[in-house]
Structure formats: C-alpha cells, structure tokens
Amino acid sequence: MALITTKEMFAKALQSDYAVGAFNVNNMEIIQGIANAAKEEQAPLILQVSAGARKYAKPAYLMKLVEAAILDTGLDIALHLDHGEDFDICKKCVDDGFTSVMIDGSKYEFTENVRVTKQVVEYAHAHGVVVEAELGKLAGVEDDVKVDARAATFTVPEEAAEFVAKTGVDSLAIAIGTSHGAYKFKGEPYLDFERLKEIHKLIPQIPLVLHGASTVLPEFVKKCNDYGGDIPGAQGVPEEMISEAAKYGICKVNIDTDLRLAMTAEVRKFIAEHPAEFDPRKYLGPARDAIQKMVQHKIRNVLNASNTL
Ligand code: G3H
Ligand code: 13P
Ligand code: ZN
C-alpha cells in the first residue's frame, strides 16, 4: 500500500468509461470520510490539496494524514496538487512526495501556458511524478456572461491536441461549461458535449479532467438553509452529465463544493438541534459520516467506479 501516480488508474478508467473521483482535502475528518468511502466501494482514489489547503492545514499535517489513510484503509492513493499556480509550488510538492501535480497555466496565453507546463513536466517526470495541465478557462456564473460569450473561453480542440504534443503532459483539464463553487448556472445547466467529444477524438489517449464538477446536491443546500444558512439559488452540474462525460475521455472528476456542503449541513443541523453540546467530536463525527455517504454515492452511481480496483 502506497502513494501511487494516476497513470494506471487513468488507463483503466479511460478503457472502461468510468471516472476517478478527485476530492479536495483540508483536515482529518474530510480525509477519513473520503478514504472510508473509497475503501467500501473498492475504488481508485485521488486526494487533492490546494494552495489554500496547504496554508490552512500545513503540508506536513496533510502528508501525514494521507499516509495514515493509506495505512488505515490499505488502499493505494494518489496525492495531487490542485491548481498549482507556478513552477515553484509544483516543485515543492514534487519534492514533498506528491505523486501528481497540476500546473494551472490557464490564466496565460497559449505559448506561455505551454512554456510553464513544459518546465513542470520536465521536473516532475524526472522525479516519477505525473502532471495535469489546463487549457481553456472555467468561467463562473458570477461573471454574468451569456452562454456564447462563455463558450469563447472553452477549450479549442485543435489547441488541446497541439498543447499535449508540445508539453508531454499526462492529463488535461478542459473547459466545457463547468465552474468552481456552488453557483455554476443561472438557468438550465449546459455542458458543451460536442466539444468534449471532439477533444477526445483528437487526443483519445489523454485522460481528460473535469474541474468544477460538484452537483451542489439539493439535500445539503436545503439542510444548510433550513438550519440558518444563506445559500440561495445554488446550482451545480447534474449527475447524469458527469456520468455522460466519463464516456468521452473524462477520467478525473474534481469535487470540493459537495464535500463542503455535506459537512456544513451536518454541522449546522447538529449545533442547531443541540445548543448545549460543545464537544467538536459530536458534530464532526456526523459530518465525516455524511461525507463518506455522499462520496460512496458519487463513486457508485455517478462515476461508476465501484469495484474497479
Ligand atoms: O478549485 C478550487 C478548490 O475548490 C479548492 O478551493 O482554493 O479554497 O482550497 P480552495
Ligand atoms: P467544485 O467547486 O465544483 O467542487 O470543483 C472543485 C474543483 O474543481 C477543484 O479543483
Ligand atoms: Zn478546479
């Protein structure tokens, strides 16, 4: 049992049209809930850490917690840097023992994105670490632009093929209409499946990554709002769309918001219903259980990755 790269898990997922869940982790309860779920479902697992998570929990704690999850569950787990903003943070994570890093050069023009991605690929590959890059921009609904205008930021299939050839990157995050957070669509949810199919046709061997893939499950939004929250009009990517995307090369599905909502809903409920309680274990325990249940549901019914180890 060890930290592993995503190479083998993506190769299997690509072949069999399922997707691997990549879940953002920030503390012990989140890691335990997710790892327990993957164990129960016998599914491949990517735990990912953002710059914000590193700042919040400190790298050493996160690394030790992930190692503990491997020990406790007996699973192999890939540890991935989410949205690395430059070469330096990617290098740090490679040096710290991560098995996968994302260099997010999507803020740059094509040529600069290629340059910085190539630099990370060279360093990471020399150390046995795989690299995810991003091409295209994830527009948020808060940008308040129409679908046509949003589409202008989507990944161009021919550029995706050129980008992969020029950088040697192992997987590619693409923009087809998703965005981060709890407010992804104002009206009907829309993903550009024709674009996804075209990209997959041009680079069928490259595992594609879907960021902003939370569904913003209504039951958790309702529970948050019922117990004092204020999250009006939250909307995510319908689960059927995620399952569909896995048929066209999406091998890694990034989920953070659904974890946050599941956890917050349970904490709000417990605290509202038990005003005299002040033992954190009393509310973090149910929060951890809610994460496990939600992640098992994703793995089994949305990603179709149960029993694929
Ligand atoms: O893509 C962003 C992830 O949800 C991580 O969010 O930067 O607040 O940790 P964060
Ligand atoms: P969500 O905000 O939809 O959970 O997306 C998370 C993500 O893409 C992390 O990189
Ligand atoms: Zn993301």
Q: Which amino acid is at 170?
A: D
Rg (the chain; Cα; Å): 19
Structure tokens, 106 = 């999507």
Q: Is 252 helix (H, G, I), strand (E, B) or coil?
A: strand
Nearest CA to ligand 1 atom 1: 180
Kind and range of the H or E run holding 290: helix 280-297
Q: What is the pTM of this model?
A: 0.97
- Nearest atom of ligand 1 to the alpha carbon of 56: 9
Q: Using an 8 Å Cβ cutoff, are 306 and 300 in contact? A: yes
Question: What is the reported pLDDT for 136?
Answer: 96
For the chain, the farthest-separated pair of C-alpha atoms sits apart, in whole angstroms, at 60
Q: Domains of the chain (ranges plus CATH)?
A: 7-302 (3.20.20.70)
Q: Using an 8 Å Cβ cutoff, are 166 and 132 in contact? A: no
Nearest CA to ligand 2 atom 3: 212
Instruction: Please identify every stretch of the chain with a pLDDT value under 70, giving residue numbers as ranges.
Output: 140-149
Question: What is the reported pLDDT for 149?
Answer: 66
The closest of 7, 14, 9, 6 to 250, measured between CA atoms, is 14
Dihedral through CA 243, CA 248, CA 253, CA 257, nearest 10? -60
Distance 213 CA to ligand 2 centre (A): 6
d(CA 256, CA 250): 17
Q: Is 48 helix (H, G, I), strand (E, B) or coil?
A: strand
Question: What is the reported pLDDT for 293?
Answer: 98
Question: What is the reported pLDDT for 117?
Answer: 98
Tens of pLDDT along 15-68?
A: 999 999 999 999 999 999 999 999 999 999 999 999 999 999 999 999 999 999
Q: Is 104 one of the catalytic residues?
A: no
Is residue 140 in contact with ligand 2, taking CB distance under 6 Å?
A: no
Question: What is the reported pLDDT for 151?
Answer: 74
Residue 189 burial (CB count, 10 A): 16
Residue whose tokens read 């990157």: 169
Is residue 53 in contact with ligand 1, taking CB distance under 6 Å?
A: yes
Residues whose CB is less than 8 angstroms from the CB of residue 170 and which lie 6 or more positions away in sequence, other chains included: 6, 7, 10, 100, 121, 130, 131, 132, 206, 207
